[in-house]
Amino acid sequence: MADSSTPTIIKGLEGVYFTETKICKVDGLKGRLWYRGYSIESLAKNSSFEEVSYLILYGRLPKKDELDGFKARLISSMALDNGIVELLKSLNGKMLPMDILRTAVSAMPAFSEKKVYQNDSEEHIAESIEIIGRIAGVVATIGAMMNNLGYSKPDSSRGIAYNILYMMTGKKPEEKAAKMLDVMMILHAEHSSNASTFSTIVAGSTMADLYSAITAGICALKGPLHGGADEKALDMMKDIGDPNNTEKYIEDALAGKKRIMGFGHRVYKTYDPRAKVIKAYLEDIQNGSTMEVQTLTAIALKAEKLMIDKLGESKGIWPNVDFFSGPVYTYIGIPKSLFTPLFAASRSPGWCAHMLEYWQDNRLIRPLDYYNGQLDIPYTPIDQRK
């Protein structure tokens, strides 16, 4: 039981600052987001996932030759060692794609020429580039296996988003779909100390290696309160089935105290700026796409309006980055169980950059919990226990 010395306990570490950073700023009240000082809107409009990854890792935009060299290293890392392909094959169909990805990242040092476990900043950048490229290659190959295809090498003249679609399908993707995926990856590339980035840093603060730290990040991303929400939001849209059912579905869910996935955020108390960029794509894909995409889009737009009317201003619950992803990814041709692995591929530059930044002034993360159980209980021998 609590006594007068009970410390203040901040559940979920809400509002707690644990470090300083120059990587990302989220303004949750104004709905603004910047990577290294550049607004998310300007990066989504003008940049590429490779350039944004460089920006996040190195802290500045690359010059042309720097970007070319960086991109070549990323795409070469997307080409998977036969050992990883064999591992993916052995797990295919036996675990969820997100679990296969987690296992593959944890096994990556076995297939790396890098000196893993070295505490050297140049080596960490090299490892980061390898990790970002490899995760993309693994996600694409898991997708290929789901399509009953084998592993394909990436096209070294193209970027990561194009190659994910190319390796998944064995066919050249439409430029529009590849561009959309590129923007989706930019929007997911970084987001301050969210649960997966914090998990990465906690693991790395023990001076575990980068691969272990990123594996911890992937574990935290999986849950539906974080990265897994995009899959659950699509499940909900499919359950609703018809735009005319949306209102009753949302009302019943809220009356039953259920959460509507893809809404609400620990930091944003207004519209998530990433969701605004994705919503603009919905308007673009509404016409001329399949019936499935048109129905999902109509349901998403109706649910958005209803939720904002009910909970927007009154409770600060607005669409987040995960809400509109389902119709967009479905349009691009990505199966639902790859949404969260793709989120991981997109977030990997953010995880790596935060880990490298934290290591510059590392301090073991070790908070306290307040014990409120009994003490000095007399030990009872096993045969006398009731």
User: Which residues, numbered 192-211, are part of the site for ligand CMC (CB under 6 A)?
Assistant: 194
Told to check if 137 binds ligand CMC by CB under 6 A, we report no
Q: Count the site residues for ligand CMC by CB under 6 A.
A: 19
Distance CA 4, CA 115 (A): 52
272 is catalytic: no
Asked if 229 and 320 count as a contact pair (C-beta separation under 8 A), the reply is yes
Shortest reach from residue 86's CB to ligand CMC, in Å: 32
Query: Hey, CA dihedral for 223, 228, 229, 234, is it positive or negative?
Result: negative
Q: Spell out the residues 6+ positions from residue 206 whose beta carbon is closer than 8 angstroms to its own.
A: 364
Q: Spell out the residues 6+ positions from residue 339 whose beta carbon is closer than 8 angstroms to its own.
A: 230, 231, 234, 325, 326, 329
Binding mask 280-319 for ligand CMC (x = CB under 6 A): -----------------------------------x-x--
Shortest reach from residue 300's CB to ligand CMC, in Å: 13
Distance CA 214, CA 192 (A): 15
Q: Closest-CB residue for ligand CMC? A: 264
From the CB of residue 135, how many other CB atoms can be counted at a distance below 10 Å? 27
Told to check if 262 binds ligand CMC by CB under 6 A, we report yes
Show the tokens assigned to 116: 């893993």
Shortest reach from residue 288's CB to ligand CMC, in Å: 29
265 is catalytic: yes
From the CB of residue 295, how many other CB atoms can be counted at a distance below 10 Å? 17
Q: Which of 23, 138, 240, 321 binds ligand CMC (CB under 6 A)?
A: 321
322 is catalytic: yes
DSSP element (H, E) containing 25: strand 24-27
Distance CA 185, CA 342 (A): 8
Binding mask 210-249 for ligand CMC (x = CB under 6 A): ---------------xxx-x--------------------
Shortest reach from residue 296's CB to ligand CMC, in Å: 17
Q: Which of 34, 211, 263, 339 binds ligand CMC (CB under 6 A)?
A: 263
Shortest reach from residue 320's CB to ligand CMC, in Å: 4
**Which residues are catalytic, by number?**
226, 265, 322
